[in-house]
Amino acid sequence: MNALFKDLLFSFSSTEEAPLSEVKYLLAQIEETKIKMACAWNHLDYADPEYVEIAVIELLLAQTQYSLLHKRYRLLLGIKHNPSFCTLAATKKSSISLEENL
């Protein structure tokens, strides 16, 4: 009876959250970093002239952290090729014909 009562009590007690998998953890970190980048952009937009340098460094730090987390996430998923913006833009430009531009 005592064991039954303990089991019942433990079932209603605060349960610990299951540990996140590494992928979910990285996604959560990426989302937090996106929020930090938005705040850093806001700080830069409204910075007094003497604080602009600090705001730029804060933004650089947030963007670097985002890049590292994103690279780690892609490696974890096994995605090796990351097409850059320039490559995508060149591909799009080359697929447009002259007739479409005229």
Asked whether residue 88 is assigned to any structural domain, the reply reads no
pLDDT tens-place string over residues 30-80: 999 999 999 999 999 999 999 999 999 999 999 999 999 999 999 988 876
40, 59 Cβ separation under 8 angstroms: yes
Total tally of structural domains belonging to the chain:
1
pLDDT, position 94: 47
Print the domain residue range for 46. Answer: 19-78
73, 47 Cβ separation under 8 angstroms: no
Of 39, 28, 38, nearest in space to 72 by CA: 28
pLDDT, position 56: 95
Of 31, 28, 27, 38, nearest in space to 74 by CA: 27
Asked whether residue 42 is assigned to any structural domain, the reply reads yes
Put simply, whether the predicted model's pTM sits higher than 0.95 gets the answer no
Asked whether residue 11 is assigned to any structural domain, the reply reads no
Place 11 in a pLDDT band, splitting at 50, 70 and 90. Answer: low
Give me the amino acid identity at 46.
Answer: Y
